[in-house]
Amino acid sequence: MRTILADNLLDALTANAPLVFGHRGASADAPENTLAAFELAAQHGAHGIELDVHLTRDQQLAVIHNATVDATTNGSGAVAEVSLAQLKELDAGSWFAPEFAGERIPTLDEVFAAVGRRLFVNVEIKSAVPGIEHALAACIAQRQMEARVLVSSFDAGILRRLRPLLDVPLGFLCPFVDSAWLDAKRNQQMYAALHPWHASIDSELMRRARESGFMVNAWTVNDSARACQLKKLGVNGIITDQPVAILAALASC
């Protein structure tokens, strides 16, 4: 039976750990960062999704991983140099499989509208261009998603700019966490969570993260045995391309 989760992401990350987030949606089975991939993550029983945002030339939040559209659409060029209307002309599904032809690059608002009440959303800010923090704060506030999102980035500067605009939990993406960094952040209110690359997580990292008051969410975990190790280590969230497989693994360990 499906566990009933709290409506608040931080509560759920504490009470129901580890939560499972579809990385760019259920991206092993549908084109990444599309509504199809997010819907599939929901159908597969994921608790949440992780997605990536860039700002378009006309200050819209486009959900796409790369700074250019080349790898995941039939177009080419930089997201930052085109309007949302131009992005919407592109096919973001055919590169993955013919049955996804016609998928579009969604806006963050469209994702919130489609799945925001069913899935928690980890928004990863990919570009620190001026204005993206204001666009993101406005989008989250308009959809009243404050309690259901966690905003992460590899870029500490953009998270610092977002911090005063909106009261949402922040996660710092860090391939590796060193102890000096953790000591420096102890007792600071900036981040709710660390998002380390999963292979860098061990019991010592978990101990130090807890001591410093951080939740720990791991990426990108597609191996069932590793997911079970991370569960035993006590991580709060697991970000995976394959939520259905990882959920099945976690249910049996």
Question: Which residues carry out catalysis?
Answer: 23, 65
Q: Is the peptide bond before 164 cis (omega within 30 degrees of 0)?
A: no
172 touches ligand G3P (CB under 6 A): no
Beta carbon of residue 228, minimum distance to ligand G3P (angstroms, whole number):
20
**Encoded tokens for 33:** 């960062």
Beta carbon of residue 152, minimum distance to ligand G3P (angstroms, whole number):
6
User: Is the CB of 42 or the CB of 173 nearer to ligand G3P?
Assistant: 173
Beta carbon of residue 151, minimum distance to Mg ion (angstroms, whole number):
12
From the list Mg ion, ligand G3P, none, partner contacted by residue 115 (C-beta under 5 to 8 A by kind)? none
23 touches ligand G3P (CB under 6 A): yes
Q: What is the DSSP letter of 89?
A: T
From the list ligand G3P, Mg ion, none, partner contacted by residue 173 (C-beta under 5 to 8 A by kind)? ligand G3P
Distance CA 131, CA 73 (A): 25
Amino acid type, 46: A
Window 204-223: residues binding ligand G3P (CB under 6 A): 219-220
52 touches Mg ion (CB under 5 A): yes
Q: Which residue is nearest to Mg ion (CB)?
A: 124
Amino acid type, 28: A
- Binding-site size, Mg ion (CB under 5 A): 2
- Binding-site size, ligand G3P (CB under 6 A): 11
108 touches ligand G3P (CB under 6 A): no
**Encoded tokens for 225:** 């045995």
Do 123 and 108 form a contact (C-beta atoms < 8 A)?
yes
- When binding is defined by CB under 6 A, the residue of 13, 125, 159, 173 that contacts ligand G3P is 173
Q: Single out the residue of 218, 214, 222 nearest to residue 238, CA to CA.
A: 218
Q: Single out the residue of 195, 169, 193 nearest to residue 23, CA to CA.
A: 195
- When binding is defined by CB under 6 A, the residue of 87, 145, 159, 239 that contacts ligand G3P is 239
54 touches ligand G3P (CB under 6 A): no
Contacting residues for 190 by C-beta, under 8 A, at least 6 apart: 159, 160, 163, 170
**Is residue 75 helix, strand or coil?**
coil
Alpha-carbon dihedral of residues 163, 169, 173, 179, nearest 10 degrees? 90
Instruction: Name the residues that contact ligand G3P, by CB under 6 A.
Output: 23, 50, 52, 65, 124, 152, 173, 195, 219-220, 239
Instruction: Name the residues that contact Mg ion, by CB under 5 A.
Output: 52, 124
